[in-house]
């Protein structure tokens, strides 16, 4: 099958029942998306699907069949920074300490990026709603909210970087 | 060879408190023990809000976890687990071997040695709990391995299981552990009672305490089984090279895994290397080798290929330990002036098929000053997966009961609950009859009350009832020896700090870097911490018991100072200032008056291949002193009186853990503890099917952990009062304390809002409505 991953066209062979998560991790060696529940309960496997309207949709790669994404463009955590420059939300996660064990972090960051692609000035409520499909057992939630708020402000240019 | 041990004493005996239990250790006195960083110490890196040193790897997906580890030719293993709670299993593994992609299948008949696990013996076909490992399959892909597991034909001869404490101690109950002799020596004693049960601890005279009381309250509290639910499941990758095996393991204790694996395989510890780079949480569950470890190592040896074995979520939730449930029957008596005259707690704890006796009564013996205290704990084995320490084991359960009961006393007496706690403040450790090294609990009360606006009334609107509550906490968090560190100064003046501990996500990598940079006079960016490798790093204990900062921190500081001393001696020679007093800061050594200086880099350049190696170890604990961390939390809640839904609006937390090495990371850890405490209070409950003993919610959809939407505003204050008596860094542990008071603070707020007490966790809507209906 063909798909674009992190801006790069890829041609890979997958089993008919193979998940997108398996294709990304085992075939393309992009291990940032994590298997944690493998049934769409925790969000650790979140990756971004480029929608037709240029928005970004967070999807659970553990529930997605790889073949169903023929021709799609996918961004994983490995593709979020450009030329070594971190995405503002990655920087905000570091600065706000929205990271503990880090296992859920790639999914959290991508869920936040998806939100900001749709809503550059999200309310607290919108943040909680958008991020509620990504579980964190360490309890970084308060810092995640602040990181998303910070990154939103920086991306809107209303806050100095 | 004979050594004269008559001169001078190098080994001493010291005590270390681990997860509420005191251990005696014989430890070496350090060659060099730095003088304490006192309250007025001028520190430049320690105490700063440095960002987490491994955060860049974690936000970019570069951080590699066990589940991400790939070795050339690696196979994937899956474990077959028992689907009944008790019985005899007969396996036909042949069909699995026929599944495409399957390379090997292993079960009881293939084991040369008995391998002991927390819940029995590996692959025992005599089943004693649902989830018990029976066999394992390895294949080219994990999917093929799982198909192989599904192909194994298992027939069970089901036997009656023992699912509850009451059933375990009932007359004629079958022995849960087949190793238990039934009936044991004492007539009428259940074979399922743990050897130490009942464990009675008493001080003073409770009859007198009851007689002296003006009010007596009696309550029964129940807490659920809680499952750690780290997002990264337990897992291991094993690879053999001849007769040596390397294991990448998601673990809080690389040295314990090495010890267990070596013993289990019958090889020497020097033939086993255990590595832990990053791990996705532990919370107490990852402190030993597990079935996954042995499966990976055994299948790798049999197949001659590396093998990865990571639990699936169901196996993770069903068989990697838990916080056992409790029933606690509590009696408190107090005089009219609020002074406690008696504290009693009788607790029953079903442990599962194994585990250690980590019960709830410790906090009853320690948190309040009271002359008459009696606690009784009974532990019974039942046919469920074995318990494992879970963040502040025992104290979380005990605090819910004790602190709920304290509020019942306050209501009975008409005394403000916070005032009642001040009145009964324990200025010394009455449990062990000794002073504390430092105890700022009263200050926690004062700061918390101010931040929370404790005296302001909470106003309900119609069915939405507002309430406030608070609770306190004590936890042994002084750490202790043994722990070792080595500091290597590289040719460019940068430093590698080698120490065997693990960073679970707690931030220990960062705070150890800060301690090393401070002691070395180096820039933080020039210090690299190398952890979690039994071959490369010297021993430290497991990352548990809130021990790492206070145990490993002093060893790292001592090693860094040892390295700096050598750097300074070299600098004095290079700068031609023999005997001058030198200082180091930001990687530059200079004379006190600033007349001469040299950067580490330039100095190391001059030294060429000469290597500076600093060595440090953790010295013994002070004798006869209690080393506790303290705190108080305050909760605002809103309860919907029609639906019974509890919403926590705000938590204020004030904690005293000695010196704070990094306030940002410490706050994160407190928030994390509170959020887990919130889950324990409101949502988390492992549900067993009563008829079969099989867990019904071994997943994260039905076992409810908090989401971001459940989390209230949390305000954290850390008192940051250095404790130079505890150790020379002045820091104590903070990992476990913040989970302890959260549930009772919320429960007390619910009682305040509704006027009725909810005495069983989690406080689900139906329990809240049930309490209101009574």
Query: Strand pairing of B464-476 and B597-599?
Result: unpaired
- Count of CB atoms within 10 A of residue B224's CB? 21
What are the C-alpha distances in Å from B532 to residues B274, B276, B650? 8, 5, 37
Find out whether B516 and B495 touch, Cβ atoms under 8 Å: yes
What is the average per-residue pLDDT within B310-318? 98
Look at residue B2 in the predicted model and tell me its pLDDT: 60
Residues 6+ apart with CB under 8 A from A35: A21, A25, A44, A45, A62, B67, B310
User: Do the chains contact at A102 and B505, CB–CB below 8 Å?
Assistant: yes
B675 close to A (CB below 8 A): yes
Q: Region B130-138: what's the mean pLDDT?
A: 98
Q: What is the pLDDT of residue B535?
A: 97
A122 within 8 A of A130, measured Cβ to Cβ: yes
What would the mean pLDDT of B66-78 be, rounded to a whole number?
A: 97
- Comparing A153-157, B569-573, B577-581, which segment has the lowest mean pLDDT? B577-581
CA triplet B196, B202, B207: central angle to 5 degrees? 130
CB B651 within 8 A of CB B471: no
User: In this complex, do B59 and A99 lie within 8 Å of one another by their Cβ atoms?
Assistant: yes
- φ, ψ of residue B574 in degrees (nearest 5): -65, -40
CATH superfamily of A88-156: [2Fe-2S]-binding domain (1.10.150.120)
Q: Report pLDDT for A55.
A: 85
Tell me: the pLDDT tens digits for B428-481?
Answer: 999 999 999 999 999 999 999 999 999 999 999 899 999 999 999 999 999 999
Q: Which of B562, B556, B528, B525 is nearest to B540 (CA)?
A: B556
Q: Which of B40, B14, B15 is nearest to B724 (CA)?
A: B40
Give the pLDDT confidence score for residue B460 in this predicted structure.
92
Class of domain B11-63+479-617: alpha beta
A124 touches chain B (CB under 8 A): no
**Rounded to the nearest 10 degrees, what angle do helices B663-682 and A141-156 cross at?**
120
Confidence at A159, pLDDT banded by 50, 70, 90: low
For helices B742-754 and B663-682, the axis angle rounded to 10 degrees is 50
pLDDT exceeds cutoff 90 at B604: yes
Domain pair B11-63+479-617 / B431-478+625-774, same fold: yes
SS (H, E, C) B329-351: EEEEEECCCCCEEEEEEEEEEEE
Band of pLDDT at residue B588, cut at 50, 70 and 90: very high
Tell me the sheet residues that pair with B88: B126, B157
A102 interaction partners in chain B (CB closer than 8 Å) = 54-55, 57-59, 63, 278, 280, 505
CA nearest to A33 within chain B: B61
Does B598 have pLDDT greater than 90? Answer: yes
**Is B286 within 8 Å of B323 (Cβ atoms)?**
no
Neighbour order of strands in the sheet with B235-241: B102-107, B133-139, B75-81, B307-310, B235-241, B244-249, B272-275
Q: Is residue B286 within 8 Å of B250, Cβ to Cβ? A: yes
Q: Which helix (H) or strand (E) holds B206?
A: helix B206-212
Paired with B241 in beta bridges are B244
- What tokens appear for B601 in the block? 């880099």
Q: At a CB cut-off of 8 Å and minimum separation 6, what does B732 contact?
A: B477, B478, B479, B546, B549, B550, B627, B628, B629, B657, B658, B723, B726
- Interchain contact A82–B (C-beta under 8 A): no
Determine, for residues B700 and A135 on separate chains, whether the beta-carbon distance falls below 8 Å: yes
Cβ-in-10-Å burial (0-12, 13-18, 19+) of B729 comes to buried
The predicted structure's pLDDT at residue B182: 47
Under 8 Å CB pairs connecting chains A and B tally to 169
- Other CB atoms within 10 Å distance of the CB of residue B272: 25
What span, in angstroms and rounded, lies between the C-alpha atoms of B756 and B768?
9
Please answer whether residues B475 and B431 qualify as being in contact, where contact means their C-beta atoms are separated by less than 8 angstroms.
no
pLDDT tens per residue, range A29-46: 999 999 999 999 999 999
Pairwise CA distance, residues B749 & B755, whole Å:
10
C-alpha span between B259 and B266 (Å, rounded): 10
pLDDT at residue number B319: 96
B57, B672, B714: residue with CB nearest A100: B672
Mutate to test the interface with A, among B61, B74, B144, B234 (most CBs of A within 10 A): B61
Whether residues B671 and A37 touch (CB distance < 8 A) is answered with no
Which residue in chain A is spatially nearest to B679 when comparing CA positions? A137
| pLDDT of amino acid B439 | 98
Query: Where would I find the H helices in B33-162?
Result: 55-60, 94-97, 142-151
Q: Give yes or no: B42 in active site.
A: no
Share of chain B above pLDDT 70, in %: 98
Give pLDDT tens digits for B628-685: 999 999 999 999 999 999 999 999 999 999 999 999 999 999 999 999 999 999 999 9
Task: Assess B55–A contact: CB distance below 8 Å, yes or no.
Answer: yes
B-contacting residues in A 85-104 (Cβ below 8 Å): 86, 90, 93-95, 97, 99-104
CB B616 within 8 A of CB B500: no
Q: What is the pLDDT of residue B10?
A: 82
Chain A closest-CA separation from residue B223 CA (Å): 20
Mean pLDDT of all residues belonging to chain B: 96
How far is it, in rounded angstroms, from Cα B721 to Cα B723? Answer: 6
At A51 the pLDDT is: 87
As a whole number of angstroms, the distance between CA B772 and CA B774 comes to 6
**Confidence label for A160 from pLDDT (cuts 50, 70 and 90):** low
Structure confidence at residue B251 as a pLDDT band (50, 70, 90): very high
Coil, helix or strand at residue B438: coil
Contacts of B598 (CB under 8 A, 6+ apart): B571, B574, B575, B588, B589, B590
**Contacting residues of B for A35, CB less than 8 Å apart:** 67, 310
- ipTM of this model? 0.97
Nearest Cβ partner for A135 among B506, B668, B705 = B705
Q: B58 touching A, CB under 8 A? A: yes
| Eight-state DSSP code of residue B225 | -
Q: Which CATH number fits domain B431-478+625-774: 3.30.70.330, 3.30.70.580, 3.30.365.10, 2.40.50.140?
A: 3.30.365.10
Query: Cβ(B60)–Cβ(A77) under 8 Å?
Result: yes
User: What pLDDT score was predicted for residue B30?
Assistant: 85
If you average pLDDT over residues B211-226, what whole number do you get? 98
CA angle, B403 then B409 then B413, to 5° = 145
Mutation to test the B interface, candidates A35, A86, A108, A142, most B Cβ within 10 Å: A142
Of residues B630, B633, B637, the one with CA closest to residue B658: B630
Q: Is A135 on the interface with B (CB under 8 A)?
A: yes
Examine the pLDDT at B83 and tell me if it is beyond 60. Answer: yes
B residues 634..673 contacting A (CB < 8 A): 664-665, 667-669, 671-673
Superfamily classification of domain A2-79: Beta-grasp domain (3.10.20.30)
- Over residues A93-112, the pLDDT tens digits come to 999 999 999 999 999 999 99
Mean pLDDT, rounded, for B327-352: 98
Report CB contact under 8 Å: B312, A94: no
Residue of B526, B522, B521, B541 whose CA lies nearest to B479: B541
Identify the residue among B60, B67, B316 best suited for mutation to test binding to A, counting A beta carbons within 10 A and taking the highest. B60
Domains of chain A, by residue range, sit at: 2-79, 88-156
B116 beta partners: B121
Does B181 or B590 have the greater pLDDT score?
Answer: B590
Q: Does A19 touch chain B (CB under 8 A)?
A: no
pLDDT tens profile B674-718: 999 999 999 999 999 999 999 999 999 999 999 999 999 999 999
**Residue of B678, B654, B670, B650 whose CA lies nearest to B742:** B678
pLDDT for the residue B768 = 98
Domain locations in chain B as residue ranges:
11-63+479-617, 431-478+625-774
Q: Do A93 and B55 touch (CB under 8 A)?
A: yes
- HSE (CB half, 13 Å, CA atoms) of B718? 26
What does the H/E/C string look like for chain A?
A: CEEEECCEEEECCCCCCCEHHHHHHHHCCCCCCCCCCCCCCCCCCEEEEECCCCCEEEEECCCCEHHHHCCCEEECHHHCCECCECCHHHHHHHHCCCCCCCCCHHHHHHHHHHHHHHCCCCCHHHHHHHHCCCCCCCCCHHHHHHHHHHHHHHHHCCCCC
Q: Look at residue B20 in the predicted model and tell me its pLDDT.
A: 79
CA distance B652 to chain A (A): 13
Radius of gyration of the CA atoms of chain A, in A: 15
Cis peptide before B162 (omega within 30 of 0): no
Our CA angle for B681, B682, B688, nearest 5°, is 95
A158/A88 Cα distance (integer angstroms)? 13
Cβ neighbours of residue A85 closer than 8 Å, sequence gap 6 or more? none
Max distance between CA atoms of chain B, in angstroms, equals 85
Q: Which two tokens stand for residue B678?
A: 């919130």
Which of the residues B17, B239, B667, B736 is marked catalytic?
B736
Question: What tokens were used for B132?
Answer: 């018990």
Q: What percent of chain A has pLDDT over 90?
A: 92
Chain A residue with minimal CA distance to B283? A138
């Amino acid at each position: 099958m063909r798909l674009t991953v992190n801006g790069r066209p890829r041609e890979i062979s997958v089993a008919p029942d193979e998940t997108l998560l398996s294709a990304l991790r085992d075939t393309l060696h992009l291990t940032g998306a994590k298997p944690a529940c493998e049934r769409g309960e925790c969000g650790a496997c979140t990756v971004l699907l480029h929608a037709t309207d240029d928005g970004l949709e967070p999807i659970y790669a553990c529930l997605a069949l790889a073949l169903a994404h023929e021709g799609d463009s996918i961004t994983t955590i490995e593709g979020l920074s450009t030329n070594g420059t971190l995405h503002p939300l990655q920087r905000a996660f570091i600065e706000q300490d929205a990271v503990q064990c880090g296992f859920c972090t790639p999914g959290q960051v991508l869920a936040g990026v998806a939100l900001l692609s749709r809503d550059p000035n999200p309310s607290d409520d919108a943040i909680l709603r958008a991020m509620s499909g990504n579980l964190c057992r360490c309890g970084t939630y308060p810092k995640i909210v602040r990181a998303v708020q910070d990154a939103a402000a920086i991306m809107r240019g209303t806050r100095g970087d | 060879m004979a050594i004269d041990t008559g001169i001078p004493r190098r080994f001493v005996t010291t005590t270390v408190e681990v997860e509420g239990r005191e251990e005696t250790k014989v430890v070496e006195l350090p060659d060099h023990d730095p003088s304490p960083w006192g309250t007025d110490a001028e520190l430049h890196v320690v105490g700063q809000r440095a960002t987490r040193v491994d955060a860049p790897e974690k936000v970019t997906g570069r951080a590699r976890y066990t589940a991400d580890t790939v070795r050339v030719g690696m196979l994937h293993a899956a474990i077959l687990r028992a689907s009944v709670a008790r019985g005899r299993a007969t396996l036909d593994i042949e069909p699995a071997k026929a599944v495409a992609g399957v390379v090997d299948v292993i079960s009881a008949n293939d084991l040369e040695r008995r391998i002991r696990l927390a819940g029995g013996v590996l692959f025992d076909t005599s089943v004693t709990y649902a989830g018990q490992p029976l066999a394992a399959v390895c294949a080219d892909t994990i999917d093929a391995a799982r198909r192989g597991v599904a192909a194994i034909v298992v027939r069970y001869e089901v036997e009656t299981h023992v699912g509850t404490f009451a059933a375990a101690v009932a007359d004629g109950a079958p022995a849960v552990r087949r190793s238990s002799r039934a009936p044991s020596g004492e007539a009428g004693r259940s074979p399922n009672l743990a050897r130490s049960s009942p464990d009675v601890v008493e001080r003073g005279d409770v009859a007198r305490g009851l007689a002296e009381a003006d009010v007596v309250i009696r309550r029964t509290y129940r807490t659920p089984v809680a499952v750690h639910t780290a997002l990264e499941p337990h897992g291991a990758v094993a690879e053999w090279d001849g007769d040596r095996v390397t294991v990448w393991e998601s673990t809080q204790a690389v040295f314990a895994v090495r010890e267990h694996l070596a013993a289990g395989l019958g090889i020497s510890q020097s033939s086993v290397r255990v590595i832990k780079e990053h791990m996705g949480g532990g919370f107490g569950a990852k402190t030993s080798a597990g079935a996954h470890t042995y499966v990976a190592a055994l299948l790798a040896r049999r197949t001659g290929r590396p093998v990865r074995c990571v639990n699936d979520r169901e196996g993770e939730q069903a068989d990697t330990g838990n916080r056992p449930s409790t029933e606690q029957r509590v009696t408190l008596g107090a005089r009219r002036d609020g002074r406690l005259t008696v504290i009693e707690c009788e607790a029953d704890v079903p442990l599962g098929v194994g585990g250690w006796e980590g019960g709830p009564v410790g906090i009853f013996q320690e948190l309040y000053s009271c002359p008459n205290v009696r606690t009784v704990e009974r532990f019974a084995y039942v046919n469920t997966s074995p318990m494992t320490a879970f963040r502040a084991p025992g104290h979380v359960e005990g605090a819910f009961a004790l602190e709920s009961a304290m509020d019942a006393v306050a209501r009975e007496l008409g005394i403000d609950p916070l005032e009642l706690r001040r009145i009964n403040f324990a200025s010394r450790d009455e449990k062990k009859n000794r002073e504390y090294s430092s105890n700022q609990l009263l200050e926690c009360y004062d700061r918390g009350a101010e931040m929370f606006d404790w005296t302001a009334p909470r106003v309900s609107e119609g069915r939405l009832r507002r309430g406030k509550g608070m609770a306190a906490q004590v936890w042994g968090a002084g750490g202790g020896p043994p722990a070792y560190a080595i500091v290597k100064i590289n040719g460019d003046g940068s430093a590698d700090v080698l120490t065997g501990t693990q960073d679970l996500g707690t931030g220990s990598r960062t705070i150890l870097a800060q301690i090393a940079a401070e002691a070395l006079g180096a820039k933080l960016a020039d210090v690299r911490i190398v952890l979690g490798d039994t071959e490369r790093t010297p021993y430290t204990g497991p990352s548990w018991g809130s021990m790492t900062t206070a145990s490993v921190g002093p060893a790292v500081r001592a090693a860094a100072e040892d390295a700096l001393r050598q750097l300074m001696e070299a600098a004095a020679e290079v700068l031609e200032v023999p005997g001058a007093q030198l200082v180091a800061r930001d990687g530059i050594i200079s004379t006190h008056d600033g007349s001469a200086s040299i950067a580490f880099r330039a100095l190391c350049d001059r030294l060429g291949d000469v290597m500076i190696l600093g060595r440090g170890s953790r010295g013994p604990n002070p004798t006869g002193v209690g080393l506790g961390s303290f705190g108080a939390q305050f909760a605002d809640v809103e309860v919907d009186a029609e639906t019974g839904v509890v919403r926590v609006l705000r938590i204020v937390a004030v904690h005293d853990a000695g010196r704070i090495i990094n306030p940002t990371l410490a706050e994160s850890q407190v928030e994390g503890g509170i959020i887990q405490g919130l889950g324990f209070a409101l949502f988390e409950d492992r549900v067993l099917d009563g008829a079969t003993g099989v867990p019904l919610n071994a997943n994260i959809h039905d076992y409810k952990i908090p989401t971001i939407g459940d989390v209230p505003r949390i305000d954290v204050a850390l008192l940051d009062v250095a404790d130079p008596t505890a150790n020379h860094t002045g820091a104590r542990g903070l990992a476990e304390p913040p989970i302890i008071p959260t549930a009772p603070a919320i429960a007390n707020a619910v009682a305040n809002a509704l006027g009725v007490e909810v005495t069983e966790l989690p406080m689900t809507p139906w329990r809240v409505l049930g309490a209101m209906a009574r």
